[in-house]
Structure 1
Amino acid sequence: MKEDDQYKKYIGLHLRLRRQELGLSQDEVAERAGIDETTIGKIERGERTPLAPTLFKISTALNISLDRLKADVDKSIQTEDD
């Protein structure tokens, strides 16, 4: 799998896991982040790579730092590549 596709896949996965951990719906995250809920769904499914401002809004809504998200994504990619 290409590296860009891996990032898209795992960014979505880790955002979804964090959302579920907090017990939030996609609609609730979208409202907190000020973006459309269809955008949240596309990102979580790996169908769309979020631009930096969108990723910042979502991570803020989920109370997860971009550093933590990147570390989680990198770990998943490393595990997949092993």
Structure 2
Amino acid sequence: MPSAPPPDDWVLARRRDIGEQIRSVRRAAGLTQERLAERSGIDRQSINRIEQGHAAAYIDNLVRIAYALDVPLADLVR
């Protein structure tokens, strides 16, 4: 099975933007990455990679993060 091509630069930039928004909302809620991990059921390392824009987040994980932060998913991906 052939691998997918690497993402375009604009996709990587958008991934970083989403990660920064998650970090901003998390910090405003007074949560550490560890606490967000516990609340969302996602390991802390994955939270870190998503916030840094180093990993593409599955939609299921974005939904879990939004729920754990008590914000609409749209607020994280604007």
Q: TM-score, normalising length from structure 1?
A: 0.80
> 1:40 maps to which residue?
47
Structure 2: state its 5+ residue gaps: 1-7
> 2:11 maps to which residue?
4
Q: Supply the RMSD in Å over aligned alpha carbons.
A: 1.2
Q: TM-score, normalising length from structure 2?
A: 0.84
Quick check: which one's helix share is greater? 1
- Which has the bigger relative contact order, CA under 8 A and spacing at least 6? 1
Aligned residues: 71
Which portions of structure 1, spanning 4 or more consecutive aligned residues, are displaced by more than 6 angstroms? none
Q: Which has the larger radius of gyration?
A: 2
Task: Give aligned-pair identity as a percent.
Answer: 32
Structure 2 residue corresponding to 1:25, chosen from 3, 28, 32 = 32
